[in-house]
Structure 1
Amino acid sequence: MRRLAVVTGASTGIGFHLARQFALHEFDLLITANEDLGPAQADLEALGARVTAVRADLRQYDEIEDLYARIRAAGPIDALALNAGVGASGPFAEGSGPGTAPSLTQELDLVAVNVTSLVHLARRVLPDLVGQGAGKVLITSSVAATQPGPYEAVYAASKAFGHSFAQGLRTELKDSGVSVTVLLPGPVATSFFDRAEMGDTRLGAGPKDDPQEVARQAYEALMAGKDQVVAGSVVNQVLVTAERFLPERVKAAAHQILSRPGSAPGHPDKEGS
């Protein structure tokens, strides 16, 4: 029998390529996102996978409950990739508006997707995996989890939550047959930076990793049962290693240079630091 994987945030980007890795390794899939999944479903089915697509708004409690019901109906699952996430950027304490900070609603929606839905789905699915005595769980965090995030304060904090959550669960579940792996990608060539309105930052305008390669590294780490994988270029690995020894104020100042609105090279609002 083919194994079954569930991937959230699977319409595009890292999530789609994670689903593609599962399909290439003879998994069937249940994929979900809060947008049209038709193109992703067709691409994955062309690889020979049976694919169930469930559109769900992970900001909504009832839609997560409905998604879990669909997961249960699909049958025992072998792998769960909790990948869904959104971003927002801008000076937190300024009023919202064009070219300024995200609205309070945007920030709370970010917490709902990146934190609340992560806990909600994990709390529903993990007891099933523990009950069957086997399963692999991937939680997508970010290298942003390892540093304070000026101009991305809520996003970076949400990713730090995911990283800590994954490592805590891994220790709890060490004798259960269920392994938990956390994925820490750096900047990746997806629509994330446009959606987070970060195109005018050094981070948004800078070099990015291939999402297909990030997903491949994540899949291999997940199957190997590793605790975490810093995916993408070697620069990401050096960064995460170096940050273990740096004060928080130094890491925050470095991130500020990359994430300040208008800091992209050539941008008319670019500041000198």
Structure 2
Amino acid sequence: MANKFAIITGASTGIGFELATLAAKDGYDILVVADEPLVEAAAADFKQFGTDVQSVEADLSTIEGVDRLLAAAGGRQIDLVCANAGRGLGHGFLDQSVADWRKVVDTNVVGTLYLLHKTLPAMVARNEGKVLVVGSIAGFIPGSFQAVYNGTKAFVDSFTDALRNELKESDGVTITTLMPGPVETEFFDRADMMDTSVGTNPNKSDPVDVAKDGWDALMAGKASIVSGWKNKLQVAAAHITPAAVLAEQHRKMAEPGTAD
């Protein structure tokens, strides 16, 4: 058993899988979670690095799912949390079912907040711990045809900034926000966005690179990191571009039927 323990959510594929790989390589025992059976195969892969690996299948859009994850930790001290689990949803808001958009809000916002609310007090009490929350540059852009998702990421980006300030006296606890742009993962397929320009764009970021950016920033105790120089430029432009213009630009990327 290693002397450091990490929880990584959404670890079956994509950024979460790569973050878990980095944690295991860095000597962390890890507890990985996803809402699909594939997390067990991912866990088997992580074991090659020689640390203890536990996996749990749980729906982190529910309080019960987060509680199930925490119960699997068995009361062990949690040194690091990567709150990566997230869900997207394409198409127009009025065309989405309540159940579908509620799942996005509950996964990206409620589940993330509840996980932090349960794990941070012990870190603050001992003034030691690291948290990585995966936000998005989508939080800076009104997301036409992806409105709920972008709204949840705006919440996450803002919330982590505020929480970081609230906990500034606990200088041994760091909260890092990773903000990637579009990444080559199953995200767009699961969000029903493979008929869009952004969903079929072959130039999306590699999750290996995004995870490495996030991990390096986390280890350095940085407040936030925008992954990729193009995304850094996009965020800078978003601060000075009118919201209506940003929304129209997003429409061209995310409106159904815009795929090349």
| TM-score normalised by L of structure 2 | 0.95
- The yes-or-no answer on 1:122 pairing with 2:116 is yes
CA–CA distance in 2 between the matches of 1:104 and 1:52? 34
Counterpart of 2:66 in structure 1 is 64
The superposition leaves residues 1-30 of structure 1 with CA deviations (integer Å, 9 ceiling, x where unpaired) of 431111011111100100111111111101
Could you tell me which runs of 5 or more consecutive residues in structure 1 were left unpaired when the two chains were aligned: 94-100, 266-273
Write the letter of the residue equivalent to 1:186: G
Aligned pair partner of 2:220 in 214, 218, 224 = 224
Q: Secondary structure at the match of 2:66?
A: helix
- The yes-or-no answer on 1:248 pairing with 2:250 is no
Question: How far apart are 1:74 and its partner, in Å?
Answer: 5.0
Could you tell me which runs of 5 or more consecutive residues in structure 2 were left unpaired when the two chains were aligned: none
Question: How far apart are 1:70 and its partner, in Å?
Answer: 2.4
Write the letter of the residue equivalent to 1:80: V
CA–CA distance in 1 between the matches of 2:51 and 2:193? 35
CA–CA distance in 2 between the matches of 1:59 and 1:188? 22
CA–CA distance in 1 between the matches of 2:121 and 2:213? 27
Write the letter of the residue equivalent to 1:63: G
The superposition leaves residues 129-180 of structure 1 with CA deviations (integer Å, 9 ceiling, x where unpaired) of 1112100111101110011000001000001111111111111111212111
The superposition leaves residues 33-70 of structure 1 with CA deviations (integer Å, 9 ceiling, x where unpaired) of 11112211111001112111111111222222222222
Aligned pair partner of 1:47 in 46, 49, 72 = 49
Write the letter of the residue equivalent to 2:106: A
What are the residue-to-residue correspondences of 1:38-187 with 2, within 5 Å? 38-71=40-73, 73=74, 75-93=76-94, 101-176=95-170, 177-187=172-182
CA–CA distance in 1 between the matches of 2:50 and 2:13? 19
Write the letter of the residue equivalent to 1:86: R
Superposition RMSD on alpha carbons, in Å? Answer: 1.1
CA–CA distance in 1 between the matches of 2:27 and 2:6? 10
Give the aligned length.
256
CA–CA distance in 1 between the matches of 2:19 and 2:122? 22
Write the letter of the residue equivalent to 2:190: R
Q: Secondary structure at the match of 2:49?
A: coil
- The yes-or-no answer on 1:205 pairing with 2:183 is no
The alignment-based identity, stated in percent, is: 41
CA–CA distance in 2 between the matches of 1:4 and 1:213? 23
